[in-house]
Amino acid sequence: MIAHASNAAPFAFPLRVYWEDTDAGGIVFYANFLKFFERARTEWLRAMGFGQEQLRVEQKMMFVVSDTTLRYLRPARLDDQLSVTVSVKEATRATMTIAQQAWLLGAPSGPDVASDKPALLAEGTIRIACVDAGTYRPRRIPNFLLDEMTRFLPEAAPAAQAKNP
């Protein structure tokens, strides 16, 4: 294991709920929270200067989801403004466990939210694995990327420790 969770502020991605995100009951379809989480992780990487396509083409690597656990607390509705967070919980040389949350921002749109304070809607952990883009076999996360992804972790290993033996 390379690193564990930190108290660093998580990356936050703003998101608006559209018609396409809702179900017949007018609330966000539960599986769409996984899409929201994926978008936030993609933008988190982009904010660090790494596009997913760039990594696939230049580094011949991709991230795939190997495990996920979600807990739903409150519904989101059409036009709600959300903030979806990304925070590294644990990192190894080939995998990463990421804690994510979806928060309702601004004025609530439904009767189940009693104040204008941000309200936690859903939270989960997503385990991602690094794979070779051609073979889909597990591979190590490149040191430069692992260093950047774990830079806010107090127990993060220096690049020298993350190198292949």
No. of H helices and E strands in the chain? 4, 6
Residue 135's pLDDT is 97
Q: Which residue has the higher pLDDT, 6 or 149?
A: 149
Q: How far apart are CA 66 and CA 127, in angstroms?
A: 6
Catalytic residue among 23, 67, 79, 116: 23
Q: How far apart are CA 149 and CA 117, in angstroms?
A: 30
Q: With bands split at pLDDT 50, 70 and 90, how would you rate the model's confidence at 165?
A: very low
Please give the structure tokens belonging to residue 26: 């007018």
* Distance between first and last Cα of the chain: 14
Q: How far apart are CA 3 and CA 116, in angstroms?
A: 36
Domains of the chain plus CATH, in order, are: 3-152 (3.10.129.10)
For Cα atoms 53, 46, 157, give the angle at the middle one, nearest 5 degrees.
100
Q: Other CB atoms closer than 10 Å to residue 4's CB: what's the count?
A: 15
Please give the structure tokens belonging to residue 99: 């804690």
Neighbouring residues of 60: CB distance < 8 A, sequence distance ≥ 6: 132, 133, 134
Residue 156's pLDDT is 42
Is residue 112 pLDDT above 70, yes or no? no
23 among known catalytic residues = yes
Which phi and psi angles does 139 have, rounded to 5°?
-150, 165
Is residue 117 pLDDT above 90, yes or no? no
Range scoring the smallest mean pLDDT among 34-43, 74-83, 91-100, 146-155: 146-155
Q: Which residue has the higher pLDDT, 165 or 108?
A: 108
pLDDT per position as a tens digit, 7-18: 567 899 999 999
Residue 153's pLDDT is 62
pTM summary value: 0.83
Q: Residue 138's closest CA among 93, 98, 101?
A: 93
pLDDT per position as a tens digit, 22-74: 999 999 999 999 999 999 999 999 999 999 999 999 999 999 999 999 999 99
